[in-house]
């Protein structure tokens, strides 16, 4: 049975009695581990998890705690193994299925992700944290319509949870529903006035008419050293300064935001060079001439190109045709290439992926 939780990290399945401890005691012990992790004490959570699994290696709840600890530490492979054990021990564990789906999407294993996501949908019992997690998995898989449905359900069940409100607001922003996004984000500001991500998203919902929001964000910026928060706040200040045609402030804020953001990004320059070198060598006019000419059916048309090469403009032009409907900037081409080639690669592009794509029969 999946019990309703008070916080996302606590939505786990309940397993039966223990061997070495009185009935229920080890469950309470593991619950303490979830509270420790939620409070930022990963080491305490890990110690509890280790002791619990030593006594009850068949306890799905403890394996799920192990998975969340691994996710918090950025150890995706360890988390995936712990989640797989969780659902093997408890096939009704909806949050574990949803977490597995999210990890499989990230690693490019989309067929596995779809199966896990379906299991999550079939086993969920209305816990808002699980509903939000399912929505996130759908979003990562590129199904934004389904993501909207599940994020709406999560907010309906827990309208005071800022992460849930942010996720739904992001969906509204993607679909251009700015008023709906603004309403959700304004609620977030009331709950967490210092949330930098909320202020960044809020800056995108409308054109700035005065400096009051910029000044509020500058106050927040002065009180934080977190690079992610600094990036969000600076980007938001830059956007609103641009609205107000304060070009110097906008430039300085964008530059500061980029500098802060760079501290949070793992950039592989060698892989990037290999991707562009491979693309230039493979996708030549001779390669294109060897492919079928024109379109023969109503299959999707993918428009691809390097940044700032005009792909969005071409999408708008084709979308204006009466027989063409623009679906927006989705991730389905990458999913399709991975399905056809069988390559499971977490990075968006690699030289090997391009080589396999060039040789694949669509």
Which residue would you say has higher pLDDT here, 307 or 231?
231
- What is the C-alpha to C-alpha distance for residues 100 and 81, in angstroms, rounded to an integer? 9
Residue 174, domain member (yes or no): no
Q: Are residues 237 and 317 in the same domain?
A: no
- What is the C-alpha to C-alpha distance for residues 233 and 156, in angstroms, rounded to an integer? 28
Residue 68, domain member (yes or no): yes
Residue 155, domain member (yes or no): no
- Name the DSSP class of 3: P
Q: Are residues 237 and 295 in the same domain?
A: no
C-alpha closest to that of 182 among 158, 164, 198: 198
Residue 35, domain member (yes or no): yes
Q: Is 112 exposed, middle or buried (0-12, 13-18, 19+ CB in 10 A)?
A: middle
Full-model pTM? 0.74
- Name the DSSP class of 13: B
Angle 166-170-174 from CA coordinates, rounded to 5°: 170
Which residue would you say has higher pLDDT here, 13 or 57?
57
Q: Which domain holds residue 325?
A: 269-359
Given pLDDT bands bounded at 50, 70 and 90, which one contains residue 340? confident
Residue 102, domain member (yes or no): no
Residue 84, domain member (yes or no): yes
End position of a domain, from candidates 265, 289, 312? 265
User: Going by C-beta distance under 8 Å and a sequence separation of 6 or more, which residues neighbour residue 324?
Assistant: 301, 318
- In the predicted model, is pLDDT for residue 16 greater than 50? no
Reduce the DSSP state of residue 196 to 3 states and report it: helix
Residue 117, domain member (yes or no): no
End position of a domain, from candidates 90, 109, 139? 90
- In the predicted model, is pLDDT for residue 295 greater than 80? no
Q: Are residues 2 and 79 in the same domain?
A: yes
Residue 106, domain member (yes or no): no
Question: How much of the chain exceeds pLDDT 70, in percent?
Answer: 91
Q: How many domains does the chain have?
A: 3
- In the predicted model, is pLDDT for residue 272 greater than 80? yes
- In the predicted model, is pLDDT for residue 105 greater than 90? no
Cα-flanking dihedrals φ and ψ of residue 4, to 5°?
Answer: -65, 140
Supply the pLDDT for residue 294.
66
- What is the C-alpha to C-alpha distance for residues 37 and 45, in angstroms, rounded to an integer? 5
Residue-wise pLDDT for 50-74, tens only, equals 999 999 999 999 999 999 999 999 8
Q: Are residues 325 and 251 in the same domain?
A: no
- Can you give the CATH number for the domain in which 31 is found? 1.25.40.10
End position of a domain, from candidates 40, 61, 90? 90
Q: Are residues 323 and 251 in the same domain?
A: no
Supply the pLDDT for residue 310.
84
Cα-flanking dihedrals φ and ψ of residue 185, to 5°?
Answer: -70, -35
Given pLDDT bands bounded at 50, 70 and 90, which one contains residue 342? confident
Supply the pLDDT for residue 21.
55
Q: Are residues 222 and 251 in the same domain?
A: yes
Which residue would you say has higher pLDDT here, 28 or 9?
28
Q: Are residues 225 and 273 in the same domain?
A: no
Structural tokens at position 12: 């786990």
């Amino acid at each position: 049975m999946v019990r309703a939780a008070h916080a996302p990290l606590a939505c786990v399945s309940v397993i039966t009695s223990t061997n070495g401890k009185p009935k229920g005691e080890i469950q309470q012990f593991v619950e303490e581990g979830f509270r420790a992790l939620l409070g930022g004490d990963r080491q305490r959570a890990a110690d509890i998890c280790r002791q619990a699994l030593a006594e009850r290696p068949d306890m799905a709840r403890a394996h799920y705690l192990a998975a969340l600890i691994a996710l918090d530490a950025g150890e995706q492979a360890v988390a995936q193994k712990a989640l797989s054990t969780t659902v093997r021990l408890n096939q009704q564990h909806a949050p574990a299925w949803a977490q597995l789906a999210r990890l499989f999407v990230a690693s490019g294993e989309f067929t596995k992700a779809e199966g896990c996501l379906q299991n999550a949908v079939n086993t969920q019992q209305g816990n808002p944290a699980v509903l939000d997690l399912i929505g996130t998995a759908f979003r990562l898989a590129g199904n934004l319509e389904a993501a909207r449905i599940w994020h709406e359900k999560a907010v309906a069940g827990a309208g005071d949870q800022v992460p849930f409100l942010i996720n739904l607001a992001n969906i509204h922003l993607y679909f251009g529903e700015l008023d709906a996004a603004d309403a959700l984000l304004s609620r977030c500001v009331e709950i967490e006035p210092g949330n930098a991500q909320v202020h960044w998203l809020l800056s995108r919902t409308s054109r700035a008419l005065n400096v009051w929001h910029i000044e509020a964000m500058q106050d927040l910026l002065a009180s934080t050293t977190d690079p992610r928060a600094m990036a969000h706040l600076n980007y938001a200040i830059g956007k609103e300064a641009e609205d107000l045609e304060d070009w110097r402030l906008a430039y300085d804020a964008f530059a500061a935001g980029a500098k802060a953001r760079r501290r949070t990004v793992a950039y592989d320059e060698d892989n990037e060079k290999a991707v562009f070198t491979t693309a230039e060598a493979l996708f030549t006019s001779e390669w294109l001439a060897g492919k079928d000419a024109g379109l023969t059916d109503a299959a999707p048309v993918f428009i691809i190109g390097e940044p700032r090469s005009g792909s969005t403009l071409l999408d708008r032009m084709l979308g204006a045709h009466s027989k063409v409907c623009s679906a927006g900037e989705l991730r389905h081409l990458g999913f399709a290439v991975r399905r056809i080639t069988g390559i499971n690669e977490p990075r968006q592009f690699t030289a090997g992926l391009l080589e396999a794509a060039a040789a694949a029969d669509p």
